[in-house]
Structure 1
Amino acid sequence: MLLEINDDNDERTLMVDVRDDQGDTPLHLALRNKNKKATELLLKYGVDPNSANLKGLTALHIVSQENERYDLAKVLFEICKQKNVTLRVDARDEFGDTPLHLALRSNNKRLVELLLRQGADVNLANEEGSTPLHIVPKTPDSYNLAKMLFEVCDDIGRLINVDAQDKLGNTALHYELKYACLGPRDLMELLLRRGADPNLANEDGSTLLHVLCDGLVQGRSLMKELFRICDDVGRWIDVNARDERGYTPLNLDVFWGWESDSFSLLIGRGADPSLANAHGWTPLHHICKRDETSFFDDETVQVFLEICDENDRTLPIDARNKDGDTPLLVALASGHLVEPLLRRGPDLSLANEEGSTPLHVICKREIEADVLAAKLFGICDEIELTVPIDARDKLGRTPLQWAVANLLPKTVDVLLDRGADLADFVFPTADYLAEDFLPEEPYDSRLNLKLKAASGVLVVVERLAERGYQLTQSDALIIATVFAEHGLFDESADLQVPWYDDEEIATRVETIEIRPDLSLRDLVQLRPEEAENVVEYSDYYEFARSHDFSAFPERYREVCGAHLCDTMCRGFLRRWAVYPFWELIQYRLPVEICETIVEQLTNRDLMNICLAAKGQSS
């Protein structure tokens, strides 16, 4: 209305390019509010259509932001043409976006065509390096939008750079594959048929195949489509391209745990299963690694091996990564034997950078080490493969030493049954004996590992003794040192309290069986001398690892563990403290008298006597 009034009074001059605090002119506001009449009048009175606000937005940017402003865009172009004013169709906002970028984002096909026919540069990139074609795959109707874009450019003689790369090195085809799971996949075919290079890599070194194999849910079916289309248009795909981490598409595929169909497709197309990434991991390493994210099992390994055989692909089953680990070592470290791989005859003498052979790796595991060891020996017997049982790692330790250090009595039995050398056996030192059983915080009652550690140490010592090993005073000192490190007898002063009679725990103590003829209540009421005659170290060992013990209320679990440690260790400490005590008193009393004195001392005193004999008392 103001403009109409001014039209009747030519002596007044209106400031049509005045700006508000956002830098918007009246034209910006009229277009934003879709006021066609005000737009026409402002243009008639000479408003600058190329004026940009503080965000760099011109009139064309404003009309390109929404799908419903096409008519306003037409008005802009028509009136500017009448007034012989050139509209800057490639003006950039603060992000470097042109009106064409914005029109594509708003899926405004008619406006896209209008801008192109008015001279918009279809290859102009924004601050991120994105051309209009990069925008298309991220829109809901990407195929039809791209189809129209190409058709209009064909009609006006404009060439679209289909391989333009943004600042991340991604092409429109890279984004199409990333967003393909959100809608139809026709755009991939359109881009490839328009000449897009399937082997172009982004700044991470990822080609299209890398994108498809890098955890993309629909990557397998898209991969088949990619090969089909490239075959049809005569395009070769580099299936062995490496990204910046050295991963080939096959390596990525198995890293993410996809199915054998994709292995077969890639290997059938020439993927080399021997190629390793920058850390030396081959596809077979990844397949043999098992964790909570892995979908692989022995059947997958078998299928992978067969696929390689069918395609005459050489598979280095003893390939070593940068840590020196072979696929078999990787499998064993995650607790799996991978029988199909073992039956291929890998070299069991190969050691990693730590000097660990397969048997070393097994003996460093706490869970099912005996099962793995027995299975390893059994299969190797069948295929006549020798297991190096007394190999030493770079610390000079044998598998038997590791089995003892990790408190694995059943594994110790397996090794000794298989001929492990006990004659030259050296008992583990205190720095690694029961090392994995130390709590994260001192006296951590949540993780009461003391009973586990003490029973484990004593039961492996018992197994060694049964096979003829003579425990020495030096060995006993090592054990006393480990007991001290675990704070084994720090709660001894509280053991006079009849905790097992508390109402909360009494029934449970009564019903838990340590062995068929002995309940936990029976055991805790025995004197140590009595318990030594009826309970074996292995009974304590099994109870410490049982659900019955772990299910104890926390405050009772701590005191129960301390009570059982006191009972269990009494005989061992009493026997091995006599001579250190005799040494401490400088042999002034007969050994028999020393034995009598030792009988009267607490376990903590006995442990400290063993340590004091070597100047270690704390």
Structure 2
Amino acid sequence: MDGANFMEIDWCQGLDLDFVNLGASTLFQPLQGDRDPYAIEVAEPAIADFYPQANGFLPTASLDFSNSTPGASLPVSAISTDGNNYAQDIPDAIISEIVRESRWLLWQTHTEGHETHHDVLSRLEPITIGDVNSDLTRRAEAIFQAPDKEHLVHYLKLCIYLSSNNLMSQCSTDSLVSLIARSNSYWRLKALIRSTTNTTMEIFMSNLLASAAAIGDTEVCRLLIAAGADLDAHSGQTVRTTALHRALLRDQRECARMLLEAGADANLMVDGETPLHIACSKRNAIDVVCLLLQFGAHVNPPQDCAELTPLQIAVERDDLELVRLLLEQKANPNAFTTSKEGTALQIACANSMNASVVELLLRANADIDTRPGYLRDKQVPHPLADSDDEDLDCIEISTSLKPAILIAADNDNWEVVQLLLEEGAAVNASLGRCPGRFFNDHNGDYDTPTVYTPLQAAVRSEKITMTRMLLTAGAQIDARPRGEHGHTALQISAMVGNERLIEILLRKGADIHAPAGVYGGRTALQASARHSDTRILAIMLREGADVNAPPARHQGRTALQIAVAAGSTEGVKMLLDAGAVVDSDPSLTEGVTALKEAIRIKDLSIRDEILYLLLRAGAYTEVTKGPDYHAPLHVAVESGDEKITERLLRKGASANLGFCAETRLTPLQKASSEGREDLVRLLLDDGADVNYPAHEYRGRTALQAAAERCHVPVVKLLLMHGATIKSKRAKNKGISAIEGAALQGSRELVELFLAKEPDVISSDPIAKQRVIGLALTSFRCDVPMLELLLEGGADAKGGSRSPLERPLLQTAVELGNYHIVQCLVSAGANLNHRWKRESAGNVTALQAAVSSRDIDKVRLLLERGADVNAPANENGGRTALQMAASQNNRTIVDLLMHHGADVNSLPSPRQGRTALQEAASSGFLQLTEYLLAHGAQPNMRAAHFGGVTALQGAAIYGNIRIVMMLLQAGADINGAPAIEQGRSAISGAAENGRLDTLNLLLNYHPNTEEFEIRKKQAAKLALANGHLAIGRFLLAYRKHSSNI
């Protein structure tokens, strides 16, 4: 085809509208009613400005229904002959649904019924131009008015335009197919698609075909296939996929057959998934898989596929017949496309309980030793093979690391285990090359401990016969990864409490002294101690197990501690009689002691008996070393147990024993924090230091702890006993008593502290700066509270406040009401304190006020002198004007402009937008016009990361009218894109499927060598994102020679 004539043929066939007549455009005119006060008069652009001697057309939905009647312009054979007119053919319910769908189509971000039809119609303005706008607006108005015989025709016109510009969702397209079917309007669709052939119709047909296939409407599918719809085109606004993929996903088999018979690609991959992948994942998949295979589907996907192979999927679903079919079709049983999943055999060992699938795979020569976690393929080693990198994520690939026989054993598939043994599977395959963190993440619990050998699995499942068989086959009885991870078979037998297995393993030479595994392991004796039945424990003691064997390095416990925690009185007696140390080094057990575990026992009678045994055995009531261990008294207070607390104090426990290692609080501080007045009184009576200093890290004095939790009775009790209000706060993350009261918004406590120490705020520079900010975070904060703090000397100015801290006034704006903000402003709060935050967001009070859309706060701050042009947050944020523009808040925009806002303030380097870029990207037509009229520069450069110029933003979102407006205002069509994640205007339109906008930009662009390069770049992006028709259109696009 002659390139110079391509565009004419493509767009002009079937044209009835005069698209060259843009002079009638409503470009800057409001749809109805009075003129928008922000709409500035701008000269109407001439068509030659945008289509310089070009193809003389616009790439719009070139189907004119302006004179449509039920039979107008349609083939006679397609017209109904039942004598009823259109209005009678379509029920009122469907007409009402057309109205609802039209509203949703035009305003998808608003709930139906919240906007008038005029508001909804305004959504057409930024995305249409010229006669297209006039025609679509007229049709939309007709839909929203009284029921009309042409509703479906009008709705189709809207759908064609929006669909061809990627502005119509899959859900709405599905609804359109349903409406056509329920109104029996297939003949109208047939006439429609026969009336023209162009790129617009091509895109619409492919989108409609995908929805018809998904819904299962074979009639629509047949019509579209016959009309030449692209069978392999992608559809969808976000997740783009093909008609065949959608038919298979929705199990629409007849539609899938029609597509395949018509030539749809049975191997087309979308996001790493072929049609065969989808089919294999469905129930009763045999028929549809056979269908795909009949049309050439490959059973072995390419290696760059991100999914499981079809065979792996079939095995995972335990579909025996499907597995057989795929293997008969030469599916590779050893293929895998990702090392994060197991082979088909590994998957079968995990899922199949009847061994039939495993037998099929073995007959097909499945490799019993392949482990993708270690080997990506036979030539390329997986990083895990020679690395102990602790940062590798082993959670996702644990199955692929394990040998098939272990997987089978782990899942109690003992028939499979036996089958694999017969096939020569290694009974002692090692997991030693796994990173150490793997074993920590896969430690299991003591009821179902993780196993790493088939023997361990057999013991855990208490399969005595299988245990004997594995031992006979040569299973190493004490084997475990690296000799230190997990549990030995004997330790597991002790955990499950099976005497026969213990005796068998001991007779076979199991090491009763094997140390506990690194992560949460237990020796055989320690594992035995958890049972209330002490027979297992007796066996271990009789066999000479070390009663004081060291605990595991991580989460370890001694045998005595385990018995105590289990509430086993008899076990505790046996261990103590065997010489168990009652006070082992708590540093080896994360601060846990036997006495601590006893205090936590819920059954009071058992607790008292075990406490008696431990105390009689000489258990220390004090900490054994250092000031920061978890002593029994700490546990008693933490548990809120007054009886045990009193008993420990009588036994000699010191009320001033120091800080708990976990809470960093003394017993009195902890009791005060919990508001336990009874315990506070008990500890004070026993001599607890009411002013014991706070721990240097996150510590609290007793008074600080009580005030911070607003325990008023405890605060008063502590004050009665001489607590100091001005006690020093902790060096790191500390808080004073007055700050704690402010944090809680407790006016009662603030008044109490100020009455006793009037200068408690003014004499403390830190409190002076902090109390206002702390009070603002409380839901109880009000103006009287702030006035009380201010009278006490609090500083509202924030002069010495760090830039890393949120400004006081910004906090008030974000969390408080207008009167709180007014109170702080009147007190001299810094209006322009700038927050140097590391994350995206507002950094000044004014920006926060604009963000909240609170015009009263905005006006107050501006009138008091807030900097209207404070720069945007460098890590992602907006100036006040940019924020207002992003919200299309014209009232606040006008207010900011009145106070001198810079319409061209620089955007944030990270995904920032100028005000004009915000408005243009968002489709805010009147605001864009207003900003341009007030000096906004259309060529402000894009932000460094993810930014756009105004033209790029409008093009990306398909705002064609704004594109025209910007071009007329001098926007550079070749404006530089963002350095990172940027797109040119033409590329952005192509990548996002904005056909009409793209064609406008192509026609406007001068015919230069650079143009050809940009066109090819855009085509590549369009094709990569599934916009095949647009990609082809770009590759075939040629300018007339007169433009050169």
TM-score, structure 2 length as denominator?
0.34
- Counterpart in 2 of 1:372? 857
Tell me, yes or no, if the aligned pair for 1:170 and 1:202 is still in contact at 8 Å.
yes
Tell me, yes or no, if the aligned pair for 2:565 and 2:598 is still in contact at 8 Å.
yes
**Is 2:812 aligned against 1:316?**
no
Tell me, yes or no, if the aligned pair for 2:821 and 2:857 is still in contact at 8 Å.
no
Q: Whole-Å Cα distance in 1 between the matches of residues 811 and 938 of structure 2? A: 35
- Counterpart in 2 of 1:496? none
**Is 2:638 aligned against 1:129?**
no
Q: Whole-Å Cα distance in 2 between the matches of residues 60 and 430 of structure 1? A: 68
Q: Whole-Å Cα distance in 1 between the matches of residues 562 and 851 of structure 2? A: 66
Q: Whole-Å Cα distance in 2 between the matches of residues 49 and 484 of structure 1? A: 76
Tell me, yes or no, if the aligned pair for 2:583 and 2:620 is still in contact at 8 Å.
yes
Q: Whole-Å Cα distance in 1 between the matches of residues 525 and 794 of structure 2? A: 70
- Counterpart in 2 of 1:202? 695
Tell me, yes or no, if the aligned pair for 1:134 and 1:171 is still in contact at 8 Å.
yes
Tell me, yes or no, if the aligned pair for 1:318 and 1:326 is still in contact at 8 Å.
no
**Is 2:658 aligned against 1:164?**
yes
Q: Whole-Å Cα distance in 2 between the matches of residues 231 and 370 of structure 1? A: 46
**Which amino acid letter does the alignment assign opposite residue 656 of structure 2?**
V
Tell me, yes or no, if the aligned pair for 2:831 and 2:861 is still in contact at 8 Å.
no
**Is 2:834 aligned against 1:352?**
yes
**Is 2:779 aligned against 1:295?**
yes
Determine helix, strand or coil for the equivalent of 2:782.
helix
**Is 2:540 aligned against 1:52?**
no
**Which amino acid letter does the alignment assign opposite residue 331 of structure 1?**
A
Q: Whole-Å Cα distance in 2 between the matches of residues 116 and 239 of structure 1? A: 37
TM-superposition CA deviations, 1:98-139 (whole Å, max 9, x none): 543343333623543564456433214389722221221244
TM-superposition CA deviations, 1:325-360 (whole Å, max 9, x none): 652244346686434424634266654378xx9998
Q: Whole-Å Cα distance in 1 between the matches of residues 560 and 835 of structure 2? A: 64
Indicate which of 659, 662, 668 corresponds to 1:173. Answer: 668
Q: Whole-Å Cα distance in 2 between the matches of residues 122 and 173 of structure 1? A: 16
Tell me, yes or no, if the aligned pair for 1:177 and 1:212 is still in contact at 8 Å.
yes
- Counterpart in 2 of 1:456? 927
- Counterpart in 2 of 1:475? 937
Tell me, yes or no, if the aligned pair for 1:406 and 1:436 is still in contact at 8 Å.
no
**Which amino acid letter does the alignment assign opposite residue 865 of structure 2?**
P
- Give the 3 Å change call, closer, same or farther, for CA 276–409 of structure 1 in structure 2: farther
Determine helix, strand or coil for the equivalent of 1:365.
helix
TM-superposition CA deviations, 1:367-394 (whole Å, max 9, x none): 42644233446xx6xxxxxx33778758
- Counterpart in 2 of 1:411? 892
Tell me, yes or no, if the aligned pair for 1:370 and 1:411 is still in contact at 8 Å.
yes
TM-superposition CA deviations, 1:570-593 (whole Å, max 9, x none): 456436589x9xxxxxxxxxxxxx
Q: Whole-Å Cα distance in 2 between the matches of residues 268 and 362 of structure 1? A: 39
- Counterpart in 2 of 1:388? 865
**Is 2:712 aligned against 1:248?**
no
- Counterpart in 2 of 1:383? none
Q: Whole-Å Cα distance in 2 between the matches of residues 186 and 369 of structure 1? A: 48
Tell me, yes or no, if the aligned pair for 2:825 and 2:831 is still in contact at 8 Å.
no
Q: Whole-Å Cα distance in 1 between the matches of residues 871 and 845 of structure 2? A: 11
Tell me, yes or no, if the aligned pair for 2:582 and 2:618 is still in contact at 8 Å.
yes
**Which amino acid letter does the alignment assign opposite residue 459 of structure 1?**
Y
Structure 1: unaligned runs, 5 residues or longer: 1-18, 381-386, 465-470, 492-557, 581-600
- Give the 3 Å change call, closer, same or farther, for CA 488–228 of structure 1 in structure 2: closer
Tell me, yes or no, if the aligned pair for 2:849 and 2:855 is still in contact at 8 Å.
no
**Is 2:540 aligned against 1:143?**
no
- Counterpart in 2 of 1:361? 846
Tell me, yes or no, if the aligned pair for 2:513 and 2:545 is still in contact at 8 Å.
no
- Counterpart in 1 of 2:504? none
Tell me, yes or no, if the aligned pair for 2:548 and 2:580 is still in contact at 8 Å.
no
Q: Whole-Å Cα distance in 1 between the matches of residues 594 and 867 of structure 2? A: 74
TM-superposition CA deviations, 1:245-280 (whole Å, max 9, x none): 35334445555x5554454455555484465769x9
Q: Whole-Å Cα distance in 1 between the matches of residues 952 and 922 of structure 2? A: 11
Q: Whole-Å Cα distance in 2 between the matches of residues 371 and 133 of structure 1? A: 56
RMSD across aligned positions (CA): 5.7
- Give the 3 Å change call, closer, same or farther, for CA 433–410 of structure 1 in structure 2: farther
Q: Whole-Å Cα distance in 2 between the matches of residues 167 and 195 of structure 1? A: 22
**Is 2:683 aligned against 1:191?**
yes
Structure 2: unaligned runs, 5 residues or longer: 1-510, 515-522, 837-841, 873-877, 975-997, 1016-1044
**Is 2:952 aligned against 1:487?**
yes
- Give the 3 Å change call, closer, same or farther, for CA 139–20 of structure 1 in structure 2: farther
Tell me, yes or no, if the aligned pair for 1:66 and 1:103 is still in contact at 8 Å.
no
Tell me, yes or no, if the aligned pair for 1:89 and 1:115 is still in contact at 8 Å.
yes
- Give the 3 Å change call, closer, same or farther, for CA 61–111 of structure 1 in structure 2: same
**Which amino acid letter does the alignment assign opposite residue 658 of structure 2?**
A
- Give the 3 Å change call, closer, same or farther, for CA 489–167 of structure 1 in structure 2: closer
Indicate which of 600, 625, 631 corresponds to 1:105. Answer: 600
**Which amino acid letter does the alignment assign opposite residue 388 of structure 1?**
G
- Greater RCO (CA < 8 Å, at least 6 residues apart): 2
- Give the 3 Å change call, closer, same or farther, for CA 172–432 of structure 1 in structure 2: closer
Tell me, yes or no, if the aligned pair for 1:24 and 1:52 is still in contact at 8 Å.
no
Q: Whole-Å Cα distance in 1 between the matches of residues 754 and 595 of structure 2? A: 43
Tell me, yes or no, if the aligned pair for 1:173 and 1:191 is still in contact at 8 Å.
yes
**Which amino acid letter does the alignment assign opposite residue 186 of structure 1?**
D
The structural deviation recorded for 1:284 is: 1.2
Q: Whole-Å Cα distance in 2 between the matches of residues 164 and 130 of structure 1? A: 9
Q: Whole-Å Cα distance in 1 between the matches of residues 971 and 920 of structure 2? A: 24
Q: Whole-Å Cα distance in 2 between the matches of residues 87 and 475 of structure 1? A: 82
The structural deviation recorded for 1:316 is: 1.2
- Counterpart in 2 of 1:604? 1001
Determine helix, strand or coil for the equivalent of 2:798.
coil
The structural deviation recorded for 1:147 is: 1.2
Q: Whole-Å Cα distance in 2 between the matches of residues 58 and 479 of structure 1? A: 67
Tell me, yes or no, if the aligned pair for 2:583 and 2:594 is still in contact at 8 Å.
yes
Percent identical among aligned pairs is 14
